[in-house]
Chains A and B, each alone.
Chain A
Amino acid sequence: KAGVTQTPRYLIKTRGQQVTLSCSPISGHRSVSWYQQTPGQGLQFLFEYFSETQRNKGNFPGRFSGRQFSNSRSEMNVSTLELGDSALYLCASSLVPGGPQETQYFGPGTRLLVL
């Protein structure tokens, strides 16, 4: 079974631009979560989607948004990019959300560099 895939793997943008990252979950997985990893803040939860609905949200500004499609694929968007948005963005999928058995499996991440 294929793992979580994320595209693109690397991205360079300039301040003020916007960016869209894509995530395809493991086949059959319906919950997708997004995380940001930076050297200073570590791994931080952005949001989670299930059945095309945002189920949980972390403490990030409204510039960070996401959506999920009917096939469970998800995209996240960051508008008005800032230098501090440079990070590794990780997507994780699980069968369904909630409960101790729903382990998340991570993709390889998209590394975003904002200049």
Chain B
Amino acid sequence: DQQVKQNSPSLSVQEGRISILNCDYTNSMFDYFLWYKKYPAEGPTFLISISSIKDKNEDGRFTVFLNKSAKHLSLHIVPSQPGDSAVYFCAASPPGTASKLTFGTGTRLQVTL
């Protein structure tokens, strides 16, 4: 039972354009959501997070949107840069257990010149 889903295994975007990565979840108990970026042979790197009491959180080029009624979150990267090419994972946790993350399967982002 995949409680966190990333339905797009890959995404290709031109440099300078917006990258939109999507994530859906089924467990309504999740109240904390994160995005991680991962390069091959490295551990995931934390990018941005959002609590369920918010619907948007912004940090530089990265913005995460949360739609609780649709159980959907998205990560926007504007403008996209070649160094953003990596695998992006969304993750979620229920209340009080932010250390127990359920991850999506990842979306490979390729930013082309």
Contacts and interface: CB of A to CB of B under 8 A. Distances in A.
Interface of A: 4, 31, 33, 35, 42-45, 48, 50, 55-56, 58, 90, 92, 94, 97-109, 111
Secondary structure dominating the interface of B? loop
A58 B99 CA distance: 11
Given A100-B51, A108-B42, A48 B32 contact: no
A67 B87 CA distance: 30
Given A42-B105, A42-B106, A98 B99 contact: yes
Contacts of B49: 100, 103
Given A42-B106, A56-B99, A97-B97, 9 more contacts: A4-B43, A33-B99, A43-B91, A97-B98, A98-B99, A99-B98, A100-B31, A103-B98, A104-B98
Given A43-B89, A106-B43, A107-B43, A100 B103 contact: no
Secondary structure dominating the interface of A? strand
A31 to B, nearest CB: 5
Contacts of A105: 46
6 contacts: A42-B105, A43-B91, A45-B102, A92-B43, A98-B96, A105-B46
A95 B97 CA distance: 13
Interface string B45-88: 11001010000000000000000000000000000000000000
Contacts of A94: 98-99
A100 B32 contact: yes
Interface string B26-53: 0000011010100001111110010100
